[in-house]
Amino acid sequence: MTEYDTNAEHSISPLNSELAIKYILSFEHVGQHLIDVSMSFSALAQQELWIPVWVPGSYLIREFARHVSTLSATVLDLQSQQSARHIYVEKISKNRWRLNCEAGETIVVHYQVYAFDLSVRGAYLDHTRAYANPACVCLAVAGREQHPIQLIINSGQSFAQHPIACSLTKMSAIQHTENNRIYHYRAKNYDDLIDHPFEIAEQSVNSFDVNGIPHTIAISGRHRTDMTRLANDLKKICRYEIEFFGSAPFKNYLFMVMATGSSYGGLEHQNCTSLITPREDLPSGNEAEQPSAAYRRFLGLCSHEYFHAWMIKFVRPQEFAVLDLEREVYTRMLWVFEGFTSYYDDLILYRSGVIDRPSYLELLAEQITRYLQNAGREHQSVSDSSFDAWIKYYRPDENSQNATTSYYNKGALIGLCLDLTLRERGSSLDAVMRQLYQFAQQGQSLTASTIPDLCEQLIGDRLNDFWLNYVEGTLELPLETLLDKVGVKYTVEHKVWPLGLKTSESPNGLVIQQVLRDSVGADAGLSAHDTLIAIDGIRATTGLLAQWADAAGFNVRACTGAGTLLTCHVFRRDELMTFQIQPVASAIHTIRLSVAHPERLTDWLEPFSSIH
């Protein structure tokens, strides 16, 4: 094969018709966090280039164009392989450029991208690591988005000794000299290109096969992971998920992980996931047989993103069949794609044998507790929450808990309720998921009626009230009743927020993080961001406020007399304000789950063998 240019880092070679668009990424400005990009292609007249404003899987307008600079373009003389002339580049919108060129000219564009975003959806470059989602580095050639693409990554001297993690199709062996390595990849089209992040860094790597499909884990950052333990656990999870669906929509899979102090996140791709995790979540050589809560969290993250390879990368909502990456794309179905995925991520840890039943019930209880502690569940449905992800879920503020619902959290519990409802009637959510995968294999995407239709097929009932009450509406989920039927006891414990306030200590006083909707604190006029400095003339501390955890409010009330209003001194900005408050605590619920009636347990809580 001669599809690549052996001197790619120095020149742009003639294009062949098969690989019409070529990108060369290099890292000569590591210290300044600048990725140098050269791209070449055969142009249309007045060719436009654009860069996405968001990245699939993360529903917020990110404006990647703001990191693009020094863009210039020349026409290439194909005979001499030299620049024939510079062409004028006009910026025509926030994320689009127009080139003053003729049709058929071969254009070379150079630009730089500032890359210092550690998140899984961005790009990052320093002397330890080069990482990028091509969506924020590679400009698209308008009208040529379906053309095949060649991606050349030149490690340069900085990364000549480091391996690369990338799940794109390789075109050839790596070219390796003392000073650099050059990696050649191909993508089917622009969408394919931007679904494959890469990382060059010092990595710990382990590989395993699942049902003949090669899987790789590559971990960068400082960490002391027991890679064998991790691979063994991941293998069980992956095998379960592949067998759950019946087959995999990928031929290989890569877990690309960065270990840090405290960052956390994951982004799904068609045959890869990019994860960032606190290093303490990774298993050490001392990890007990039952994973710690921290390690369980990491395994849950892996299980979640891997499940997305089916649910959202392959089975898609109808609105995502063709993605417009220049503006918001709305769907009301994120409660399915993120919610059901969140239901299964923990459940699969249990079913695959990685965690035991009490651990799973603990995770489920935490999910239910989060739901019950969110006052916003009474005010926003998951259907609306999905639609408004762009402006609400991805832009949380001090009022979010009071006004919004998480389509992850409530979506997961809707998954649980639907699963238990279907199981009562001889079917299961597992059957629905497998059917959705089969529909996608036949080229169908998901519409609002797909799941009700499937329920009708499976149990002879479209469950119209279920969708109306719990998906379109905000009726409380029947968790206790449904769990009781399968032998799981639901115990409510009360936790109190004194005065309905969530606070944190600071040298200046207690900073109010959140005021619970309809609490006495809210009624009195206290606000998030206020600094509470004194309660009834005594310096406000967590301890003093905690005395209100006892609804009697014993100490302070003894001084002030029962029923007396408390005086709170508060700084709002730099102004001192006084508020009178009824000394009443607000209760929020904490849930514990346990198996109370083992004889009622159904195959819902049966491990691996339950796939049917």
Nearer to Zn ion among residue 338 and residue 388 (C-beta): 338
* Count of chain residues binding Zn ion (CB under 5 A): 1
Shortest spacing between CB 169 and Zn ion, in angstroms: 25
| Residue list 315-344, contact with Zn ion (CB under 5 A) | 338
| Residue list 337-376, contact with Zn ion (CB under 5 A) | 338
| Cα gap 390→204, rounded to integer Å | 36
Shortest spacing between CB 444 and Zn ion, in angstroms: 22
Nearer to Zn ion among residue 183 and residue 407 (C-beta): 407
| 8 Å CB contact between 299 and 240 | no
| Cα gap 131→262, rounded to integer Å | 19
In three-state secondary structure terms, 154 is: strand
Q: Which amino acid is at 292?
A: S
| Residue list 149-208, contact with Zn ion (CB under 5 A) | none
| 8 Å CB contact between 64 and 52 | yes
Nearer to Zn ion among residue 335 and residue 350 (C-beta): 335
Q: What is the DSSP letter of 168?
A: S
| Cα gap 574→588, rounded to integer Å | 31
Query: Residue 479 has which token pair?
Result: 């968790």
Residue nearest to Zn ion (CB): 338
Shortest spacing between CB 269 and Zn ion, in angstroms: 12
Nearer to Zn ion among residue 412 and residue 488 (C-beta): 412
Partnered with residue 198 across adjacent β-strands are 132, 166
Shortest spacing between CB 192 and Zn ion, in angstroms: 21
Shortest spacing between CB 389 and Zn ion, in angstroms: 12
Q: Which amino acid is at 361?
A: L
Nearer to Zn ion among residue 59 and residue 183 (C-beta): 59
Nearer to Zn ion among residue 117 and residue 338 (C-beta): 338
Find all residues with CB under 8 Å of 590, minimum gap 6, and list them.
369, 373, 492, 493, 494, 495
Nearer to Zn ion among residue 236 and residue 313 (C-beta): 313
| Cα gap 364→360, rounded to integer Å | 6
| Cα gap 611→132, rounded to integer Å | 38
| 8 Å CB contact between 335 and 414 | yes
Nearer to Zn ion among residue 13 and residue 386 (C-beta): 386
Shortest spacing between CB 408 and Zn ion, in angstroms: 7
- Phi, psi (rounded to 5 degrees) for 446: -90, 130
Query: Residue 370 has which token pair?
Result: 């989060």
Query: Residue 104 has which token pair?
Result: 């058929």
Beta strand pairing call for 509-515 and 501-506: antiparallel
Shortest spacing between CB 190 and Zn ion, in angstroms: 23
Shortest spacing between CB 339 and Zn ion, in angstroms: 9
Q: Which residues bind Zn ion (CB under 5 A)?
A: 338
